[in-house]
Structure 1
């Protein structure tokens, strides 16, 4: 019995030492060093997300003289955003990138306001909102309603989403009866249904084949995403109409409890690294928007413009109703006021 007890004691000590040495709980060790696990769900090394997190790593490690180590995971600890949110809550990851839709699964319904079609009228409008008082208010909501599980470090983008399908849209009437791969429930689905389309839930991984084999008539996404997947080379993805219905928002989050446990010096470095990552990610994304549009045209895709006002008029009552349900009417008005100021 004594030998067995001694073995368990020694084993416990060994485990404790190993955990302390590895610093895998994300807190500061006795030597003042911390390790941050940062993750996104994109597997492409060319993803703007990767550019953003690599900049975060670079700045954090350089500014801390190595006392902060950042480990970047590109789809290796979760290709689904729901997995990343869960890992952040469980402290199995420290910094993650997620979209508003997946944040609503945590009970913070207000964040989905940023997903409503035509909530933003331009990239400049989006930027002035998220980088101003609207963004600050949303950051406070996220922190408070998550009981400090989530602290917002910055707003990233995933580009401007457009329609692409088997025919160009000359007017909103051209959508009637067309199947369109998008969300099949919630405000996004409501918008496309009102516009006349039939939302389809075909998975992203099967979408190329679905467009190729006429399973679905059309889809919607930003240039870097659908051109990288060659959707524009299929019969049902050839025609791109720049509807610009969504200037996308992505949240760069850190576990709030871990952040609070760091020294003030490390906190300031992390905030600076986050600020630089925001600049790097947006720059990479904006560059790819131009690059992949040019590639689509070179590959034979046809791009046209459309009067967006009929789409916007459909979206307004949907925005109003959604804001009421989310208890975010004031935030919606703030966003609309910014749009008026920029006219």
Structure 2
């Protein structure tokens, strides 16, 4: 499995730039230095474990930054300084593929990543997280990933990767909406629009069946692509496209709250490393992961509201979710969901999600 992962990393470097989930206000933004300070009161204790925790977003306003900072605070506090944590906010890798490679090489201890990369290493089941209209709300998403469904997916990932990847927490990157050169309320309104999408095959199938034209554009190049009419529209969460100011372009100023994707991101650790720890050490890390996950989600939800306010204040036009024909979009998504779970023998997983309330 390790050899397979290593062989596929080079091919994934380009793919990772296409999934964009936020970041700094411009590619030229200064890169924050890694944070290495030990929690107050713990400096006199020699660490037993030195952890490197990273994500690929350079903006310290990003929820990931708040999440890993909370991990550091709690891990160093509950361990009494026996764990030391170094944080990298976009300084260990420019994209998720580089971070995953660092994790598999032992150059990172824990990383935040989208699930999609695992489809390339023999875990097609994780593309279930990419199915659109799978969740109805953040509350539904939380109950599903924190319940039987989430536990089952953790087991699948650990088993299929030889314990190379252990899910330490399910994080969010918000709920994704469409923004473009015109408002869309129904699938018919999107007919013929070029739309920058994530690279997931199930998501591209959905937008094709809506009538739009899925297009690949690197996240860092999307502002220019919208500005220069390379694409008519894109889809992402308010915080991500607000931080990149996509809504200030002519092809980004009409936001349509499709709420098609309550996103899942993974806080990952090498499961074999985790299993090598003592029960006490595992307990410290588990406690910190729970606190970090709660913090990251809390920031995501708060920023969704404030980012929407900022987008509107900047002059963007918003079609509220209540004014959308969501049922028409769901009617396209549900057959894709059902085909996926049939092909991957995951009907029971879908049932777990649908019956979670």
TM-score range, shorter chain: 0.7 to 0.9
Alignment-derived partner of residue 46 in structure 1: 61
Question: How far apart, CA to CA, are the structure 1 residues paired with 2:211 and 2:233?
Answer: 13
Is the aligned partner of 1:272 residue 2:287? Answer: yes
Alignment-derived partner of residue 324 in structure 1: 342
Is the aligned partner of 1:164 residue 2:182? Answer: no
Q: Which of 212, 217, 238 is equivalent to 2:253? A: 238
User: Under a length normalisation based on structure 2, what TM-score does the superposition of the two structures give?
Assistant: 0.84
Alignment-derived partner of residue 315 in structure 1: 333
Question: How far apart, CA to CA, are the structure 2 residues paired with 1:132 and 1:41?
Answer: 28
SS of 1:158's equivalent in the other structure is coil
Question: How far apart, CA to CA, are the structure 1 residues paired with 2:139 and 2:200?
Answer: 29
Question: How far apart, CA to CA, are the structure 1 residues paired with 2:199 and 2:116?
Answer: 13
Question: How far apart, CA to CA, are the structure 2 residues paired with 1:152 and 1:184?
Answer: 22
Alignment-derived partner of residue 213 in structure 2: 198
Q: Which of 135, 138, 142 is equivalent to 1:123? A: 138
1:229-268 CA-to-partner distances (Å, cap 9, x unmatched) read: 1110110101000000000001111111111111211110
| Aligned-residue CA RMSD (Å) | 1.2
| Cα distance change on mapping 1:250 and 1:197 into 2, 3 Å | same
Deviates more, 1:205-214 or 1:267-276: 205-214
1:82 positional shift:
1.4
Checking the alignment, whether the CA contact within 8 Å between 1:110 and 1:327 is kept in structure 2 is no
Deviates more, 1:35-44 or 1:143-152: 143-152
1:267-288 CA-to-partner distances (Å, cap 9, x unmatched) read: 1000000000000000111111
Alignment-derived partner of residue 108 in structure 2: 93
User: Under a length normalisation based on structure 1, what TM-score does the superposition of the two structures give?
Assistant: 0.88
Checking the alignment, whether the CA contact within 8 Å between 2:47 and 2:81 is kept in structure 1 is no
Deviates more, 1:138-147 or 1:128-137: 138-147
Alignment-derived partner of residue 19 in structure 1: none
Equivalent residues, number: 309
Question: How far apart, CA to CA, are the structure 2 residues paired with 1:336 and 1:113?
Answer: 13
1:267-317 CA-to-partner distances (Å, cap 9, x unmatched) read: 100000000000000011111100110000000001013120010010011
Checking the alignment, whether the CA contact within 8 Å between 2:127 and 2:200 is kept in structure 1 is no
Question: How far apart, CA to CA, are the structure 2 residues paired with 1:287 and 1:170?
Answer: 26
| Cα distance change on mapping 1:324 and 1:89 into 2, 3 Å | farther
Question: How far apart, CA to CA, are the structure 2 residues paired with 1:174 and 1:288?
Answer: 29
| Cα distance change on mapping 1:40 and 1:318 into 2, 3 Å | same
Question: How far apart, CA to CA, are the structure 2 residues paired with 1:112 and 1:84?
Answer: 20
Q: Which of 110, 113, 116 is equivalent to 2:125? A: 110
Runs of 4+ residues over 4 Å off in structure 1: none
1:32 positional shift:
6.6
Alignment-derived partner of residue 297 in structure 1: 312
Question: How far apart, CA to CA, are the structure 2 residues paired with 1:93 and 1:164?
Answer: 35
Is the aligned partner of 1:82 residue 2:82? Answer: no
Alignment of 1:170-181 (within 5 A): 170-181=185-196
1:185 positional shift:
5.4
Alignment-derived partner of residue 28 in structure 1: none
Alignment-derived partner of residue 139 in structure 1: 154
Gaps of 5+ in 1: 1-30
Question: How far apart, CA to CA, are the structure 1 residues paired with 2:189 and 2:218?
Answer: 24
Alignment-derived partner of residue 27 in structure 1: none
1:146-169 CA-to-partner distances (Å, cap 9, x unmatched) read: 111111111000000000000001
1:170 positional shift:
2.7
Alignment-derived partner of residue 24 in structure 1: none
Question: How far apart, CA to CA, are the structure 1 residues paired with 2:180 and 2:342?
Answer: 33
SS of 2:259's equivalent in the other structure is strand
